[in-house]
Structure 1
Amino acid sequence: MNIDTPLALLGNLTPRTFMQRYWQRKPLVIRQAIPDFKPSLSMAEIKQLARRDEVESRLIWRDGDSWKMKNGPFNRLPAARGDNWTLLAQSVDLHDDATAELMHRFRFISDARLDDAMISIASDGGGVGPHFDSYDVFLLQAHGQRRWRISSQKDLALTPGLPLKILENFRAEHEYTLNPGDMLYLPPHIAHDGVAIGDCMTISIGFRAPSLATLAQGMLDAASDQIMAGLDDGRSAQASGVLPGPSLRNTFHDAGAPATATPAYLPDALVTAACKAAQKIHFNETLATRFLGQWLTELSPQAYFEPSSPHIDLRSDTPPGRLQLDRCTRLMYRKRQLFINGEALALPASKALRELADARSLRLDPRRRNSLSHDEQAVLTGWLQEGWLHHIDD
């Protein structure tokens, strides 16, 4: 993607300009971001998704002044003619190729931030109440109309005693009615309330926003895992981010310690040894890359793979066409490190594999196959057999 080419998706802004002016800064209404947009799934098909065990879904409705919520899967859903209900289907990109392709149109933002595509359908008056999100979101109107009221208010106190996070004192500052193809971008902590006008479908492209506490805990867990696995010795020090040396592998010893008349007192030597052991760990770029690469490519529990080319072996075959990552596959890299579906690969991130990660597709012809190393051919063949990768005839 050329980040300096204007996109209708961004109101004819370039991705570079959008990221500089709006991303995590201020809302943006984009009229006809996708002209004449038609959703790939009907409202009836979204209801069918919500009946499936592997699809995370929620039903939200109002009963007088009270908000109600129920988690799926659902055997029964409200009648289409009923008012004030909303059905949410999470991570539809894992279940529908066209929705995944729609989500990938937003890859001018790093895959490390891109999360999922949620689809909500609603009857007249349906919504989830005034609330705020802690992450960025693009709200694409797919069917019918939705009226959005938004506010940059600082008071984000929630109404107590509800199953939903509803703002207690919502004060709208702007109001917009979105038609199919229109889109609203909201940065984190912008209060908003969307209400369906008649039957309505909205597609939400959401982004990951891990807390700093989550990142710190992940680093600690990664260091702990590597130490417990014995990766703190000299052989694996560079890969693990842990200093070499035998001290972390040895047990605490205190030969010559005096007898004590205060046995409940925590020994100074043990406290000092614990501090010195922790100082042996380097929380560096290598450790962070490994933790983030595995965590951010970790598969959703709803991910499902079905091999479409189980008999292709790139070590001997060169079928014409291209290799295409499955919609559920997450492939990322940093420098020479390569990560796929929660795994860190020993295979370095070559130019071809980086191209596959960035484009999610790789042209395959005899010249390209011959340029791949034997290890690359073997790895790609394995991904084909797992269903992580598919061969597409052009």
Structure 2
Amino acid sequence: MRLSFLGGLTAQQFLREYWQKKPLLVRNAFPGFTGLLTPDELAGLACLEEAEARLVQNKGDKWLLRRGPFAEEDFQRLPQTRWTLLVQGVNLFLQEGAQLLEQFNFIPRSRLDDLMVSYAPKGGSVGPHFDPYDVFLIQGMGHRRWQISTQSDQTLLPGAPLRILQNFQPEQEWITGPGDLLYLPPQCGHYGLAQDHCMTYSVGFKAPYTQELATQFLVYLQDEIKLEGMYQDPELKTQSHPAEISPAMIRKVGAMLRQIRWDQDTVQRFLGTYLTEPKSSVYFEPPARPMPPEKFHQQLTQGGIRLDLKSLMLFHDNTVYLNGEAVEATAEDLPTLIALADRGNLAAGTRLNESLEKLFYQWYRAGYLVLEQAP
């Protein structure tokens, strides 16, 4: 199936020819799109304690960075030009943001990060830089000039609070307007400059560094591995230097540590919990007065259910992962859980057995699920 917002390419064509390979510009990819929220509404999100917001100002050769949460007075003191407000994870607060991300479901959900929205008056920018991940840049209101470069020189501007390229050499340039889309692969240098009051919607994808994966995997193994035995040395010999760590001790401990093993199942379980673990700034709000199971059953049947905007749900084989927790699903329950993970909701009238309804009730009380209102 051809996707109009990819310029008529099929998902397979895009992945084969562009994904992590070269940029793609599509004019009017989203006809009539001018954005999902106003600059004032974005500023309101930036004032929330749980939001991840940044304010970037450019004063000549100087770059200034402030992190939220902000107060209304912070915006009143800003100049007329040359600043940018960025808010991460707008899809966690705005249903329309989550729906926009669904357009990109041809890329596995395990790779999706979030929707970042930026607002800038004329001259606003975060400087020339590169991202280590794939990004789709959708223009909302206003216009932005984009310059891109595939240069290998990634020298950064010294002393800057942002990762700004010191020797940016643009190779291509476009001005994007409402509804235009620009895809950029990892490590593609880019420099966006607001031509007027403009907002840009950035769909970003996870690309964890090997060091981060290794560190988190070792943390995960702490609770998973169980090694037998303890250190013993019945053949202990005297040493000329009591403070020396002996070669024999090093060999023994090395042999003990070689008991650490993992297989594909271990990696799968790690990825399921790691990829669905909410960010540290995310908090779930359980219902203040949870309804009893009987009332829950009635409303679930009549209105259906959906994942909370902050919830992350993936699966592999018969294991389902929700917000860092793993559930082993029965063959009977698995199709329904997969449907919830794929679509983010279950329609009214979906038939559920007793065990699945009990699980959903637990998730509802934890704030992971939200009941829909009956039509």
TM-score (normalizing by structure 2): 0.92
Residues 1:382 and 1:145: Cα distance change in structure 2 (over 3 Å): same
Distance between the aligned counterparts of 1:64 and 1:261, measured in 2? Answer: 66
Instruction: Say which is worse superposed, 298-307 or 150-159, in terms of deviation.
Output: 298-307
SS of corresponding position for 2:265: helix
For residue 55 of structure 2, what is the aligned residue in structure 1? 59
Aligned residue type for 2:324: G
Cross-structure match for 1:18? 14
- Percentage identity across paired residues of the two chains: 38
Which letter does structure 1 place at the counterpart of 2:224? Q
For residues 183 and 15 of structure 2, what CA distance do their matches in structure 1 show?
A: 12
Counterpart of 1:296 in structure 2 is 275
Match for residue 343 of structure 2 among 338, 359, 363: 359
- Give unmatched runs, 5+ long, in structure 1: 233-247
CA contact (8 A) 1:150 1:190 kept: yes
User: Post-superposition shift, 1:278?
Assistant: 2.2
SS at match of 1:319: helix
Aligned length: 367
Normalised to the residue count of structure 1, the TM-score between the two structures is 0.87
Residue 43 in structure 1 maps to residue 39 in structure 2: yes
Contact kept? 1:94, 1:302, Cα under 8 Å: no
How far apart are residue 166 of structure 1 and its match? 1.1
Pairwise CA distance, 1:316: 5.3
Q: Is the 8 A contact 1:8 1:32 kept in 2?
A: no
* Aligned AA (1:353): L
Write the letter of the residue equivalent to 2:355: D
Matching residue's letter, 2:347: R
- Whether 1:196 and 2:194 are equivalent positions in the alignment is yes
Moved over 6 A (4+): none
Q: SS of 1:289's equivalent? A: helix
Contact 2:318 2:328 in 1 (8 A): no
SS at match of 1:77: helix
1:203 aligned partner, one-letter code: Y
- Structure 1 contact 312–381 (Cα < 8 Å) conserved: no
1:157 is aligned, of 155, 158, 167, to 155
- Aligned partner of 1:180 in structure 2 is 178
Residue 241 of structure 1 is matched in structure 2 by none
* C-alpha contact (below 8 Å) 1:219/1:283 kept by paired residues: no
1:162: Cα distance to partner? Answer: 1.1
**Which of 337, 344, 361 lines up with 2:319 in the alignment?**
337
How far off is 1:45 after superposition?
0.7
| RMSD between superposed Cα atoms in Å | 2.1
Q: 2:142 aligns with which of 134, 141, 144?
A: 144
Q: CA deviation at 1:219?
A: 2.3
Higher mean alpha-carbon deviation, 294-303 vs 184-193, is at 294-303
**Residues 34 and 139 of structure 2 are in contact (CA less than 8 Å); yes or no, is this contact kept in structure 1?**
no
- Go from structure 1 to structure 2 and tell me whether the alpha carbon gap of 1:86 and 1:78 turns closer, same or farther (over 3 Å shift): farther
- The alpha-carbon deviation at position 163 of structure 1 amounts to 1.2
Cα 1:350–1:88, aligned 2, differ >3 Å: closer, same or farther? same
Which consecutive unaligned segments of at least 5 residues does structure 2 have?
A: none
Structure 2: distance between partners of 1:130 and 1:152: 12
Matches of 2:79 and 2:237, distance apart in 1: 82
Task: Determine the structure 1 residue equivalent to 2:264.
Answer: 285
By how many angstroms is 1:218 displaced? 2.3
2:247 equivalent among 261, 264, 268: 268
Which of residues 24, 31, 36 in structure 1 aligns to 2:27? Answer: 31
Contact 1:135 1:206 in 2 (8 A): yes
Cα distance per residue 1:22-62 (max 9 Å; x no partner): 11110000111111013221011111112222211111112
